[in-house]
Amino acid sequence: SAVISQKPSRDICQRGTSLTIQCQVDSQVTMMFWYRQQPGQSLTLIATANQGSEATYESGFVIDKFPISRPNLTFSTLTVSNMSPEDSSIYLCSVTVNGPTEAFFGQGTRLTVV
């Protein structure tokens, strides 16, 4: 299993500013993912955080808006840049362990942009 600590748990930010979300895992994992969950919606994959190389972004998400760091096998950050109210969502960090058998999620960061 994996225990994920995600910080901050929530924040209220002014439009035009940036917020960096941290994800710390209690064990080394190969695959780390960042999701967005907009109000009343399902989870949408933003990107796969690759250790030692650039993140792999899904269609509709770009590095300039959502820069991701993955300095080692237990830690990643997601930055939401130049925020607008449309970025108000829950952002979740996830890891998979033992291939496809299970994914673990952080508690999420509830972001409100005003």
Partner 1 sequence: GNSVTQMEGPVTLSEEAFLTINCTYTATGYPSLFWYVQYPGEGLQLLLKATKADDKGSNKGFEATYRKETTSFHLEKGSVQVSDSAVYFCALHNQAGTALIFGKGTTLSVSS
Out of 20, 22, 24, 48, the only residue in the binding site for partner 1 (CB under 8 A) is: 48
Per-position b or e across 41-62, b if 16+ CB within 10 A of its CB: eeeeebbbbebeeebebeeebe
The piece of 21-29, 59-67, 70-78, 92-100 that touches partner 1 (CB under 8 A) is: 92-100
Closest distance between partner 1 and the C-beta of residue 38, in Å?
11
3-class state of residue 63 by DSSP: coil
Least Cβ distance, residue 40 to partner 1 (angstroms):
8
Pair type for strands 43-49 and 56-57? antiparallel
CA distance 48 to 93: 10
Rounded to 5°, angle at Cα 51 from 47 and 56: 25
Closest approach, Cβ 32 to partner 1, in A, equals: 10
State yes or no: residue 42 binds partner 1 (CB under 8 A).
yes
Closer CB to partner 1, residue 82 or residue 102? 102
Asked if residue 60 binds partner 1 (CB under 8 A), the reply is no
Tell me the C-alpha distance between 114 and 13, whole Å: 6
Note the residues at the interface with partner 1 (CB under 8 A). 30-31, 33, 35, 41-43, 45, 48, 92, 94, 96, 99-108
